[in-house]
């Protein structure tokens, strides 16, 4: 079910076993070839695919599109929330629904910069409401194998406006891809030290990271279908209830 299309009376009678699905994206530079809204468009499409697959088990909210994108702000047009504001938005959605009995929440993310604050937001909520189920993942976690098998460029994982992301956009929104501007960019060797936090103007020339010139709509379809299937399975498992194991006291030894 899509929250935005329901009335409050529809919501009142919903099962409280549904998982509230909150997609998170961004509006930030994606190199010369992909639009600023790329992460939000992909996260929305994956989340809608999940909702279509198991509509009775999911309550899909609109995508929270203002991401934690401070590392892209050197490129004009990128918009960012500071971390507290960003986490506050997620907490506000959850805390609006908790008093009405909803207790399962899942943030499905489309932007790497949101990963840490999503985790922090969920941990804060779990501390406040220990009985609730709070979970989060990037859609990219569900299609890692499809990405590794599908990509033809030197990088076999998801980066930024890369072969995988450009392929997803060629599949989902081909009219928004500047095909003549597809570009390979980004550091080609690991940085010599592990610790530093880098902004994208420091590690790329024009904002993308990866081998977007290898992108194709066909690869995008493969990756997209894997992401929807994996995320659907994840949400279905939470909706139907799962059991944590390993907490029972060890059997008395017969010694």
* Footprint on this chain of Zn ion (rule: CB under 5 A): 38-39
In sequence order, what DSSP letters do the residues of 223-240 get, joined into one string?
HHHHHHHHHHHHHHHHHH
Comparison of 19 and 169: residue with beta carbon closer to Zn ion: 169
CB of 131 to Zn ion, least distance (A): 34
> Which helix (H) or strand (E) element contains residue 217?
helix 217-240
Cβ-based burial of 208 (10 A; exposed 0-12, middle 13-18, buried ≥19): buried
Ranked by CB distance to Zn ion, the top (closest) residue is 39
Closest distance of CB 192 from Zn ion, Å: 26
Q: How far is the CB of 230 from Zn ion (least distance, A)?
A: 18
Cβ proximity to Zn ion, 39 vs 234, nearer residue? 39
- Residue 138 CB partners (closer than 8 Å, separation 6+): 108, 109, 110, 112, 115
Radius of gyration of the chain (CA): 20
Closest CA to 200 of 215, 212, 210: 210
Closest separation between CB of residue 34 and Zn ion, Å? 7
> Distance between CA atoms of 1 and 56, rounded to whole angstroms?
6
29/57 with CB nearer Zn ion: 29
Q: At closest approach, how far in Å is the CB of 60 from Zn ion? A: 20
Supply φ then ψ for residue 71, to 5 degrees. Answer: -75, 0
Residue 38 or 109 having the CB closest to Zn ion = 38
Nearer to Zn ion, 39 or 184 (CB): 39
């Amino acid at each position: 079910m899509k929250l935005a299309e329901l009335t409050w009376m529809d919501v009142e009678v919903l099962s409280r076993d549904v998982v509230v699905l909150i997609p998170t994206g961004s509006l930030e530079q994606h190199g010369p070839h992909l639009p600023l809204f790329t992460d939000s468009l992909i996260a929305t499409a994956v989340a809608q695919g999940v909702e279509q697959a198991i509509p009775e088990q999911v309550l899909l909210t609109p995508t929270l599109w203002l991401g934690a994108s401070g590392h892209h702000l050197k490129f004009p047009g990128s918009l960012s929330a500071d971390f507290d504001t960003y986490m506050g938005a997620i907490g506000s959605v959850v805390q609006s629904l908790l008093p009405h009995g909803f207790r399962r929440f899942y943030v499905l993310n489309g932007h790497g910069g949101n990963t840490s604050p999503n985790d922090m937001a969920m941990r804060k909520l779990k501390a406040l409401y220990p009985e609730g189920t709070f979970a989060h993942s990037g859609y990219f976690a569900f299609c890692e194998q499809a990405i590794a098998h599908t990509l033809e460029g030197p990088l076999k994982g998801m980066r930024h406006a890369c072969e995988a992301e450009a392929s997803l956009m060629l599949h989902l929104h081909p009219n928004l891809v500047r095909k003549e501007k597809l570009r390979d960019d980004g550091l080609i060797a690991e940085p010599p030290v592990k610790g530093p936090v880098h902004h994208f103007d420091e590690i790329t020339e024009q904002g993308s990271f990866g081998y977007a010139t290898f992108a194709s709509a066909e690869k995008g379809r493969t990756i997209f279908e894997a992401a929807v299937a994996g995320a659907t399975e994840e949400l279905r498992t939470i909706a139907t209830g799962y059991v944590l194991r390993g907490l029972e006291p060890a059997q008395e030894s017969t010694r």
